[in-house]
Amino acid sequence: MLIKITKPSDAKTSEITPQSLFKDRRRFIKAAAATGAGLAVGPFLMAQEAEAGAKLLGIQKSKWQLPEKEWTPKEDVTEYNNFYEFGTSKESPERNAKKFKPKPWTVKVEGEVDKPGDYDFEDLVRPHQLEERVYRHRCVEAWSMVVPWVGIPLADVIKRMGPTSKAKYVAFETLFDPERMPFQTSSSLDWPYVEGLRMDEAMNPLTLLVTGLYGEELPNQNGAPIRLVTPWKYGFKGIKSIVKISFTEKQPSTTWNKMQPGEYGFYANVNPEVDHPRWSQAKERRIGDFLKSKTLMFNGYADEVASLYSGMDLAENF
């Protein structure tokens, strides 16, 4: 029998800020700024909103698009997310990552690969076509978004690096720098954050190395300057601020699987039939919607990825 040992840092469902309260609080503050009722904070908020992110040029629209009316508002995508390096509440990353400097940036490529080395961010990204892909995004905490990501196919980068026949997995590591990421001094996670994919998952056309959203450079709180997005998996597989990509023969460790193996599996595929021990995964609430909707198998991307798991018991390999 599995005995669940809860850590003080574990987020309880009662501690997750309800999306409706989050939006009501923000609407109140903005209304106060607009009417002059919040003189102390109004000018600051308006100045912040006036700062547009740097536009990304030469973006090509991909075949993965959803109607713009379904897109989650940019303010929700950038103000309501998980990034424990900058705090454990949904609002902490946007508040605490303002001073983070994501460039210059280097990504180390190592392991079973023909072209290992330290790659400057621009050199890693520049040879590849930037694409806009509007993906559904499903968090393990049962909330979801629709996000217009901008990035490059991970498969293109992998082909360029030349993995050897021994490369069965691709592992990723987040920057570890407590001076720049202040919450890495806490014991909430085993730092640095690490993640991994099986090689065929990494090579799937859906898998994206993201450098932007809404046509602009990726904000600090969303994982600048480069992060992973695998839209058929739960959000915690989307490792942020990547500094290392390793090609390995053995299955790599992943942060949440190490922390709570009974709750977070290596695969982390969106599967409504496998509940999290503390809540159901059968339904989800999209940011901006009042009612919950049915969770789709593989987050709605079954046609593209179901074959990767043919013959596997997805209740065991969760």
* One pLDDT digit (tens) per residue for the chain, 318 residues: 333 344 433 444 334 445 444 455 444 434 444 444 333 333 323 233 334 479 999 999 999 999 999 999 999 999 999 999 999 999 999 999 999 999 999 999 999 999 999 999 999 999 999 999 999 999 999 999 999 999 999 999 999 999 999 999 999 999 999 999 999 999 999 999 999 999 999 999 999 999 999 999 999 999 999 999 999 999 999 999 999 999 999 999 999 999 999 999 999 999 999 999 999 999 999 999 999 999 999 999 999 999 999 999 999 999
At residue 47, what are phi and psi to the nearest 5 degrees? -65, -40
What dihedral do alpha carbons 257, 258, 260, 262 form, nearest 10°?
Answer: 60
What integer pLDDT is reported at residue 165 of this predicted model? 98
Q: How far apart are CA 121 and CA 259, in angstroms?
A: 30
Tokens of 77: 């995508």
Q: How far apart are CA 49 and CA 45, in angstroms?
A: 6
**How is residue 133 annotated by DSSP?**
E
Amino acid letter, residue 103: K
The residue assigned the tokens 């989650």 is 72
259: exposed, middle or buried (Cβ count in 10 Å: 0-12, 13-18, 19+) = middle
Tokens of 237: 């597989």
Side-chain half-sphere exposure of 225, counting CA atoms within 13 A: 16
H-type helices in the chain, by residue range? 19-35, 42-50, 74-79, 92-96, 121-125, 154-161, 199-202, 255-259, 302-305
- Cβ within 8 Å of residue 165, ≥6 positions away: none
CA 151, chain centre distance (Å):
13
CA distances from 2 to 13, 66, 96, 261, 262 (A): 20, 41, 36, 10, 8
- Residue 143, H or E segment: strand 143-153
What integer pLDDT is reported at residue 53 of this predicted model? 78
How far apart are the two ends of the chain, measured CA to CA in Å?
Answer: 18
CA distances from 312 to 3, 7, 114, 266 (A): 25, 31, 31, 13
Q: Which CATH class is domain 54-304?
A: alpha beta
At residue 157, what are phi and psi to the nearest 5 degrees? -65, -40
**How is residue 276 annotated by DSSP?**
B
Q: In a 3-state reduction of DSSP, which class is residue 51?
A: coil
